[in-house]
Amino acid sequence: MKAPCRNGELEYVGRIHESLHGFIHLTQVEKELIDCPYLQRLRQIKQLGLAHLVFPGGEHTRFSHSLGVMWVIDRISRHLQFDPRTRQVLRLAALLHDVGHFPLSHTLEAAYEDAEDKVKKTNTGLLVRKHQAAGPGRRKGARLTGKLLPGGAALHERLSRHVIEETDFPDGVTCILKNHRFIPNEIGSIVVGESNVMLYNQLMHSDIDADQMDYLIRDATCLGIGYGQFAIEYLIECFKTAKIDGQDLLCIKEKGIHTVDHYLLAKYFYRVQVLYHRTRWIIEEAAQKLYGNLMGSRKAKPVPGLMYLPDMVQDIMRWASFDDSWVMGVFRQAEVEKWLAADCACLFDIVLRRRIPTCVYEKTVNRDKDGPDDVLGACREQMERSVASNGTGLSATCIDLHHLSRKFTVVKSLAERGYKDEKVALKEDRDIIRILDHETDKPLLIGRDSASFAQYLQKIETHVFRVYTLKPSHQPSSRSHLPVQNRRNRSMRRLLR
């Protein structure tokens, strides 16, 4: 298979203007993919889920992000002087890397991953409900295959690979790729980071990849914040390949080490200030719990179960409707028709009406990974005391307050990556950042370079603790004394105001 090219360059047939990177030129296969329902669906999925309820500028979509990742990876490919065929394959992998993404960013994905964990632990398919529909228009009596998506990648990545490899029908991604003589499995393996070519995996799936490089700058720009910004052009100019045991691996020139530090610190502040923002966190947590409860309710027939997702992908109309607006519509319908127990009312208030619980305890701790956890124990005790003194106003079936704590690391240590030998890690690890020594031209682990902040970042882990309580004015009112029809009418009138 050869990529369509002219004079050693890709042959473009169109262009699209993107807010962050300007004009992005498109080949014929890219143009057809962008116009197919699977990519168009991403226009209706916000990049940051419900973050727009906190940051009004957070309205950008997975569609624009996918275009941006394609631009970034092609910019890297041109700098590394890849041939047209390699450039086109990487561009396609970047364009399609989120084609199977869930609505509401990672909120719904977390609900499905919880369901997947339960299925794996029980080794049963109990979460598949035969009466269950998969959104508007499901055929009556349609049979379920009842299978889990294989692999160890994130669920949305495995679902993206499924879309790339298993939609061989008109307007399907597989069909379009085959019509242009591309190999879907080759592109799908890059998306999940399992390509036979390690360099491709690094560009799409590592600690410094095209995906993160785009969303850090894009989210910061759209939200209007400084967290996430870094010198992307200079960083790309510092990219270089080096052979280690016969295979080309991505490295960073030593002169770019401080730009890498800037990138790593941007990731840290982005997580603390955006992903773990106190208001965004509780909204996303409530939406996840709400959807998880709906997945377990027999009344919530429109909600697709975990093992129906691969089959749902096969129906273009059903899959195309699986977007943010569909989920919010299901939430509203669930509230009006009482699909869930009354003690879930606070979840509907948080997600649909932005009635945010008050954060009565908050603590962020950066601790040495190998140090004592006395501070963490003290934080957990303080959380318990805060719950006891303030009350919660939240039903235990809705929000498990003891789970409103998270930890993350920006740079993993060798032990966390599962290695004891640094030389083995340099050769085998996909995600690790390698710095080229300017004198010996040999790669070093970034955490071993004394000039880099990474040597400190790999030693710490960040813990975030929060406790929330509902304000008295936000306590869901008891409506059990009203006739059922009156309660429904009252809820409907409120929704239509």
Dihedral sign for Cα atoms in the order 266, 82, 71, 38:
negative
The residues, ordered by sequence, that sit 6+ positions from 137 with a Cβ below 8 Å of its Cβ are 315, 317, 318, 321
Q: Radius of gyration (Cα) for the chain, nearest Å?
A: 24
Distances, alpha carbon 247 to alpha carbons 244, 257, 306, in Å? 5, 23, 39
Helix (H, G, I), strand (E, B) or coil at 435: strand
- Give the H/E segment covering residue 384: helix 374-390
**pLDDT tens across 243-292, in order?**
988 899 999 999 999 999 999 999 999 999 999 999 999 999 999 999 99
pLDDT in the model for residue 106 = 92
Mean of the per-residue pLDDT values of the chain:
85
Alpha-carbon span 262 to 259, nearest angstrom: 5
pLDDT in the model for residue 483 = 45
**Pick from 430, 79, 433: which is nearest to 233 by CA?**
79
**Pick from 447, 410, 81: which is nearest to 271 by CA?**
410
pLDDT in the model for residue 6 = 60
pLDDT in the model for residue 136 = 39
**Pick from 465, 461, 462, 460: which is nearest to 379 by CA?**
465
Determine the average pLDDT of the residues in 8-12. Answer: 86
Query: Measured in whole angstroms, how far is the alpha carbon of residue 446 from the centre of its chain?
Result: 25
Most confident among 137-146, 263-272, 358-367, 444-453 (mean pLDDT): 263-272
Alpha-carbon span 399 to 397, nearest angstrom: 6
**Pick from 480, 479, 485: which is nearest to 337 by CA?**
485
Residue 486 pLDDT greater than 90, yes or no: no
- Give the H/E segment covering residue 120: helix 107-122
Confidence of residue 4 (pLDDT cuts 50, 70, 90): low
Contact 207, 214 (CB under 8 A): no
Residue 169 pLDDT greater than 50, yes or no: yes
Contact 67, 232 (CB under 8 A): no
Residue 496 pLDDT greater than 60, yes or no: no
**pLDDT tens across 196-219, in order?**
999 999 999 999 999 999 999 999
Q: What is the DSSP letter of 434?
A: E
Contact 361, 392 (CB under 8 A): no
**pLDDT tens across 295-348, in order?**
989 898 889 988 889 999 999 999 999 999 999 999 999 999 999 988 888 899
pLDDT in the model for residue 492 = 37
Distances, alpha carbon 164 to alpha carbons 27, 91, 173, 314, 441, in Å? 18, 14, 6, 11, 39
Report which of residues 359 and 195 the model is more confident about: 195
Token readout for 405 is: 């704590």
pLDDT in the model for residue 133 = 41
Does the pTM surpass 0.85? The reply is yes
pLDDT in the model for residue 401 = 43
Token readout for 238 is: 């510092």
Residue 221 pLDDT greater than 90, yes or no: yes
Determine the average pLDDT of the residues in 171-181. Answer: 97
Burial (CB count <10 Å: 0-12, 13-18, 19+), residue 130: exposed
Confidence of residue 455 (pLDDT cuts 50, 70, 90): confident
**Pick from 116, 90, 112, 113: which is nearest to 191 by CA?**
90
pLDDT in the model for residue 444 = 86
Confidence of residue 13 (pLDDT cuts 50, 70, 90): very high
Determine the average pLDDT of the residues in 431-436. Answer: 92
Half-sphere exposure of 410 (CA within 13 A, CB side): 25
Residue 470 pLDDT greater than 80, yes or no: no
pLDDT in the model for residue 301 = 85
The percent of residues above 90 in pLDDT, for the chain, comes to 58
Contact 288, 295 (CB under 8 A): no
What is the signed CA dihedral for 149, 151, 152, 155, rounded to 10 degrees?
Answer: -30
Alpha-carbon span 491 to 321, nearest angstrom: 25
pLDDT in the model for residue 370 = 83
Residue 423 pLDDT greater than 90, yes or no: no
Distances, alpha carbon 113 to alpha carbons 32, 104, 186, 305, 312, in Å? 32, 14, 25, 11, 17
Report which of residues 468 and 48 the model is more confident about: 48
Token readout for 423 is: 């030389």
Q: 7-21, 376-390, 466-480: lowest mean pLDDT where? A: 466-480
Token readout for 220 is: 């910061």
The amino acid sitting at 158 is R
- Residue recorded with tokens 């047209």: 84
Q: What is the DSSP letter of 430?
A: S
Confidence of residue 143 (pLDDT cuts 50, 70, 90): very low
Contact 436, 332 (CB under 8 A): no
Report which of residues 397 and 408 the model is more confident about: 408
pLDDT in the model for residue 358 = 85
Determine the average pLDDT of the residues in 231-247. Answer: 93
Report which of residues 471 and 488 the model is more confident about: 471
Q: Which residues pair with 9 in a beta bridge?
A: 6
**pLDDT tens across 84-141, in order?**
999 999 999 999 999 999 999 899 999 999 999 888 877 644 434 333 444 433 434 4
